[in-house]
Amino acid sequence: MGSTGEYESQRRVPVPPSKPFLKSLQARLKETFFPDDPFRQFKNLPISNKFLLGLQYFVPIIEWAPRYTFDFFKADLIAGITVASLAVPQGISYASLASIPPILGLYSSFVPPLLYAMLGDSRDLAVGTVAVASLLISSMLGKEVSPTENPKQYVQLVFTATFFAGVFQASLGILRLGFIVDFLSHATIVGFMGGAATIVCFQQLKGILGLVHFTHETDLVSVMRSVFSQIHQWRWESAVLGCCFLFFLLLTRYFSKRKAAFFWINAMAPLTTVILGSLLVYLTHAEKHGVQVIGHLKKGLNPPSASDLAFGSPHLMAAIKTGIVIGIIGLAEGIAVGRTFAMFKNYHIDGNKEMIAFGMMNIAGSCTSCYLTAGPFSRTAVNFNAGSRSAVSNIVMATAVMFTLLFLTPLFHYTPLVVLSSIIIAAMLGLLDYEAAIHLWKIDKFDFFICLGAYLGVVLGSVEIGLIISVSIITVSLLRIILFVARPRTMVLGNIPNSGIYRSMDQYQIANSVPGILILQIDAPVFFANAIYLRERISRWIYEEEDGLKSAGEASLHYVILDLSAVGSIDTSGISMLEELMKNVHRKGLQLVLANPQSEVMKKLDKSKLIDKIGQGWIFLTVGEAVSACNCMLHTCKSIHVAVDQNAEENKV
């Protein structure tokens, strides 16, 4: 086809200078594991300053405590007390959901929040137990050891699972592998959380109806069979109390949503129901008429439990597996909640630092009679709406819980279990995010069916089946990503009228094709998995274009321009594909032209000598420059042919 001759662009695409292999590898690893460049603040500082900055990085309270003011404390005091009013009843309720003594729920709202206040990166996150993790603990460990027949051994397994959850979380943070949690897609989390919330709600019918014996299965069919097979044991007194308290809780939530200033009504509602329920039972002696109560709660602070970690237990593998699962669930919820509220106040959260904080507080918690804690949405929302200014609100909350443990636990003796069931149901209804499911249906049907699959797996199967389906869905999602890369989109570009802009002709109906030129864009990196596909697909585009021009009687095809602006990298298979494509194009009498190849692509083209084979003059900075050069060549060639024909006619004459 000749060369670009006089038109040759003055703005050639340069080949970037090559770097040593080790230096390139170091840069690639840094981009992968340290995208936020946490070490930049340590540059050009003396060792003493570096040590202080390192300490501030891992213990953020050292960094912000000197700037803390009395005004901040007043706001955090109100927020902490408000959250504590929710934390106490929720802690007791979620402990019963995990099939462990209620006092452990209170213990878990004392030590972990103190540690998070020192190590955590969020100003708004309120630490506490999580309903879904509590259900997972009961479901997964309850199959190994019965919480009713061997309560001590079961509690030891719970502490052990919490310990391994903490080790797993801290390891992810230290090794900066937090991106692994990002593979839990939003659709999967919405479906799994919604399914778990549904099962938790139906399981609370045991408390609402005052049933003593109940199934340990977590699927909907088993739960409903257990409920309706014991109709003769339903307690109407318990059912009436449960419905009244549930109505009260939902009513307060409705008012708080209608007007944000009433958030405190919803925050105080659980504690109010506990107080009212306890007074009602105490005054009417309802416990003698079938209304079950919590009973005795031991006074005092968290006893040490390091000696209870069952590393030598025959069920150790079950504890490790449970720990990893609840650790992932805790991280996924806690980090997502923390980032959501950080966005509202326009500050940034370091995900890896959060993982270390979560891990350390769960390791310490497992040694102080606590089970898994994270950052539940309900507490954090209350903390945020109450005006918290820093993590000191967690310290205030922990102090309030400590006061409760030391002096107020006897007051919970008459708290009816039906109140705890009502509190759990009200909290779980908030996790049924049907609006998110509708949004998924509107935006992406594939994501909706992922969400539905995770939901039905939990509801109709079990929590374990739901987890397996969720993992399978993650695998399918990864395969979908691989498919996108292995079968990348290639599109024909056309010119937007009265501009030098070239866009997809499918998306922009006004875009016009350029006579004699086929412009194709590759929308992914080119490597061994898609090289053959791209060669075949580009070849198909070419012969389809030639057939179309021939049938329309238009000018024949002369140039094929490949827009490589979306090709971030290329491997040896991709280079071989381009070389083979160039030969095929030349055999057809066409010229291959490259537009806007990226830095990595230019390096590979240069090292493989493919630049020399294609010709430096056929590599352009933009599609517009490539089209102008090709048009220039077409007109030049046409002029030459016309001149030759005229000379021939003159010679004949």
pLDDT, position 548: 86
pLDDT, position 653: 46
Burial (CB count within 10 angstroms: exposed 0-12, middle 13-18, buried 19+), residue 312? exposed
CATH architecture of 488-652: 2-Layer Sandwich (3.30)
Q: Which long-range contacts (CB under 8 A, 24 or more apart) does 34-43 make?
A: 34/176, 36/350, 38/350
Q: Are strands 490-495 and 373-374 parallel, antiparallel or unpaired?
A: unpaired
Q: Are strands 490-495 and 517-522 parallel, antiparallel or unpaired?
A: antiparallel
Which residues pair with residue 200 across a beta bridge?
none
pLDDT digits (tens, 9 = 90+) for 111-143: 999 999 999 989 899 999 988 889 889 888 988
C-alpha–C-alpha distance, residues 301 and 2, integer Å: 87
At residue 204, φ and ψ (nearest 5 deg) are -75, -5
Residue 413 DSSP class: T
CA–chain centroid gap for 579, Å, is 41
What lies within 8 Å, CB to CB, of 636 at 6+ separation is 5
Q: Which tokens is 344 given?
A: 């509202």
C-alpha–C-alpha distance, residues 461 and 131, integer Å: 19
Q: How far is CA 63 from CA 53, 118, 122, 431, in A?
A: 8, 10, 13, 35
Q: Are strands 502-504 and 373-374 parallel, antiparallel or unpaired?
A: unpaired
Which pTM was predicted? 0.76
Name the segment(s) of the chain with CATH classification 3.30.750.24.
Answer: 488-652
Nearest Cα residue to 34 out of 180, 185, 175, 182: 175
Cβ neighbours around 510 below 10 Å, total = 10
Residue ranges for the chain with pLDDT beneath 70: 1-11, 32-39, 41-42, 182, 260-261, 636-653
Q: Which tokens is 538 given?
A: 């580009």
pLDDT, position 371: 95
Nearest Cα residue to 392 out of 107, 630, 641, 60: 60
pLDDT, position 639: 52
What lies within 8 Å, CB to CB, of 243 at 6+ separation is 208
